[in-house]
Amino acid sequence: MKRFRKKTVALISSIILLGFFSNCVKQDNGFAQSDVPSRLNEAALLFAGKELPKDSTLSAYAETAFYKAYRRQMESSWNRLQKPNLKKIRGWWDDHRPARYPKAVLYPFSGPDIMNALTFFPEATTYILFGLEPPGTVPDPHSLTFDQINRGLNGLRVSLGDILHMNFFKTEGMAAEMSNKSFSSIAGIIMYFLSTNGYEIIDAKKIAINDKSEVVPGMPSDDRIDWQNPPKSRIPGVEISFRKSRGKKQTVRYYMLNVIDNALNTYSPNFIPYIKKEGPYAVVIKSASYLMHNDKIKFTKIRSAILASARYLVQDDSGIPLRYFKPGEWKLAFHGYYNGPIGLFANRMQNDLKKEMDEKSTGKLPFSYGYVYQEGKSNLMTAERVK
């Protein structure tokens, strides 16, 4: 089993979607759940480089030269690609989105990328994300020195470099360890995305899926779980609640686990029942390292669970191969341009998808999406269950 585990970890580490995150604040004191929602939202505003309330205990820090420079840099980085790209996606999606969709969204292999899930399905109630990285403890910058905040924001900025410029996290160089309390933890990055996109954070807490596939409160020991040898049937996570303009409460849950078949059987047999129980879903798949294509490293269980629970799905070619969408069960539509994967995944060519795309594409996409991130070169397939 040890030999199998080491081989599995090496293989997955080389292809899993979520890339390197810098460890930053090593002495920060995080909170798993805050009794003062305004502190959570102020932390998110800080991460996003936004203006802070005048009565905040962080207001003095907001006047520092470092934070003023950070605000300018983060705004510039966001405006360079993500802001115009997301606007183009929303404009295009207005003409192609489904008339209705489930209130739960599933985004497999997402890492902390709540941003794209919200772009396609902004009215959902619950968003379920997962990846290999620890969820982390939501950091509380109010308890830190100015120097610690500076280092934390520097780490967050480095961590966001790829997705701000290419709309996906790079695969290579995934950190072997990631600080649970750093600003650039999964929890911190989700807070950044929410605040940058105009959402207010209203709650955050540790959670877990227990052996009965139920969501339960998290425990301090969850911070120390080694994903290479996790406890059986306990899946750690973080839950963040948010809203826009005093609107309805929405929730994102991120879970840390390995969904390769053998890992699900050995460590997380409770995850697939949880997924089935929380559905049906609108599904987003993007830059997923073609994991569900792989015939040697099996991801058949998660692929089957997604197909069984999805009522509507939008994905690029790195998601579920076209051959698994049974005729008569799905209404398919093809958008954009497809001439094969990037070189790193050249062996994942789908000739059937190319044929469909060549014959039925609605036209080039006016935005960047997935690994082929140049505008006009991306692809999307939408699938609506009809049976």
List, in order, residues 6 or more apart from 242 with CB less than 8 Å away.
Answer: 194, 199, 200, 201, 202, 249, 250, 251, 252
Give the model confidence (pLDDT) of 145-172 as tens digits: 999 999 999 989 888 876 665 554 443 4
C-beta of residue 222 within 8 angstroms of C-beta of residue 205 = no
180 within some domain: yes
339 within some domain: no
Q: CA angle, corner 294, sides to 387 and 6, nearest 5? A: 130
Q: What is the DSSP letter of 291?
A: G
Give the model confidence (pLDDT) of 311-357 as tens digits: 999 999 999 999 999 999 999 999 999 999 999 999 999 999 999 99
Q: How many CA atoms, within 13 angstroms, populate the side-chain half-sphere of residue 282?
A: 23
329 within some domain: no
Q: What is the dihedral of CA 229, 18, 47, 191, to 10 degrees?
A: -70
Amino acid at 230: P
11 within some domain: yes
Is residue 234 predicted with pLDDT exceeding 80?
A: yes
Amino acid at 381: M
Q: How many CA atoms, within 13 angstroms, populate the side-chain half-sphere of residue 275?
A: 27
331 within some domain: no
Q: What are phi and psi of 379, to 5 degrees?
A: -140, 155
Looking at the whole model, is its pTM more than 0.85?
A: yes
Q: CA angle, corner 196, sides to 191 and 201, nearest 5? A: 40
In sequence order, what are the beta bridge partners of 335? 380
Range of 27's domain? 2-314
325 within some domain: no
Structurally, the chain folds into a number of domains equal to 1
In angstroms, the CA 59 to CA 188 distance is 20
340 within some domain: no
319 within some domain: no
Higher pLDDT: 253 or 34? It is 253
